[in-house]
Chain A
Amino acid sequence: MEIGEQASGGITILRPVGRIDNDTSAEFQDKLLSRLGGGSVLIDFTAVEFISSAGLAALMTAAKQAKTSSRRVAVAALGSVVQEIFAISRFSRVVPVFASAAEGIAALQ
């Protein structure tokens, strides 16, 4: 899957595109965990149209890894469908959610 990437003030911003599901979650997780090795990560969901349980599980794996290494994982700019899925899965209570990437970056710095 296409995952854009940018570094800003010690934070990596990942920008996945499309669906994070059975077909793409492994790639998403690999990228997320590898970047988490270098510092906190913000995932900008602007271009994500859907995330399945497999995608959320990848996010949970990253959140657990971050906890053990004093780093942070957060998400930002959820579209309406993804926002619903975060509410249904109760992930909104597990991972910090920011309205925009700018807000997320400011909070993680």
Chain B
Amino acid sequence: MLVRFWGTRGSLPAPLGRRAVRAKLREALTAAAGRSFATPEELDRFIDGLPFDVGGTYGGNSSCVEIANVGDEYVLCDLGTGVREFGVRMMQERGPQRPACYNVFLSHVHWDHIMGFPFWPSAYIPGNTIRIHGCHKTMREALERQQSDPCFPVDFRNLGAQIEFVELEPERGYEIAGLTVTAMLQNHYGDSYGYRFERDGKVMVYSTDCEHKFQTLDESYPFVPFYRDADLLVFDAMYSLADSISVREDWGHSSNMVAVELAQMARVKHLVLFHHEPMYDDRTIETVLGETRRYEEISRAGMPLTVSSAYDGLEIAL
């Protein structure tokens, strides 16, 4: 199983602006301190040695995560703007002539999780099949509405691919595209669903747009068994703890501290912070990652938990 992150931003795409690029250039050139580089490889090594928020970026596409290497069919979580880049890569790798079957698992139909669909090239190619799985009865309605006159020039009904909607029941295991999949209801306006994917003893949980509320955190909290022993947990850690229980309470998102505590309680191996606040620049996300790793150290009672922050382009093999 290989997990590829195509879109990691929450609520709204957040492109890198001129000022941010300029700040990165300034820092990189300052770090170079007049050095010269004899070869492009030497320059690449220097760039790779820069802090990630200087030499790279977390990216700005909204939620889309691929689970690859599970069979002949493709598997995606959510259809945020990251799906456009996924589709472009599919076109490059497969060409437009070879039809494929894509299985999408929708956490919910809020706009940032479906807005990439009209820009997904695979949807326009006859012969392709796109199966959209989820627990909401409104999946078709949401996709049709965002792609209808006057908001978009190509009506949903005129897409070339065969589009199917598959309604799932939460807390029931399904065999889909080589994976055992279980959905779980999450606390979010209009409901959202997390997905637990299992294959060959490996477990990946995709749990975004969920506000965790508990008086005491123990085995009775249903997300502890849902996350239990996951090799990878993709977790909505959009806000600080203080914001998530004050000014942004009931906005439907969680914090990095709750992420760590839940992951530790469930004996997760690798926690990936996801659904980044669009107001956060790369430096802020990097700072939050460092703080989260530190909180994991402070609160650790058992095995160490690996903590990463998702970025557009990140790949994690399980």
A89 and B257 contacting across the interface, CB-CB below 8 Å: yes
Show the binding face of A for B, using Cβ within 8 Å.
22-23, 25-26, 50, 52-54, 56-57, 60, 64, 81, 84-85, 87-91, 93-94
Chain A residues near B139 (CB, 8 Å)? none
What total count of A-B pairs have CB within 8 Å? Answer: 60
Q: Which of A23, A52, A64, A91 contacts B299 (CB 8 A)?
A: A52
| B243 adjacent to chain A (CB < 8 Å) | yes
**Contact residues of A: prevailing secondary structure:** helix
B243 and A88 contacting across the interface, CB-CB below 8 Å: no
Q: Which of B215, B245, B258, B261 contacts A26 (CB 8 A)?
A: B215
Interchain residue pairs A-B with the least CB separation, the first 5: A90-B240, A89-B241, A90-B242, A88-B291, A22-B216
Please, how many angstroms separate the alpha-carbon atoms of A53 and B245 in the complex? 10
Q: Which of A23, A25, A50, A88 contacts B294 (CB 8 A)?
A: A88
In chain B, residues 235-262, which have Cβ atoms closer than 8 Å to a Cβ of chain A? 240-243, 245-246, 255-258, 261
Chain A residues near B241 (CB, 8 Å)? 53, 56, 88-91
Shortest CB–CB separation between residue A19 and chain B, in angstroms? 10
Shortest CB–CB separation between residue A80 and chain B, in angstroms? 10
Q: Which of A50, A53, A91 contacts B258 (CB 8 A)?
A: A53
Are A25 and B242 CB-contacts (below 8 A) given A53-B261, A84-B294, A89-B257?
A: no
With most chain B CB atoms within 10 A of its CB, the pick from A53, A56, A94 is A53
Chain A residues near B256 (CB, 8 Å)? 88
Are A52 and B261 CB-contacts (below 8 A) given A57-B245, A60-B245, A90-B243?
A: yes
Which residue of chain B has its CB nearest to the CB of A86? B242
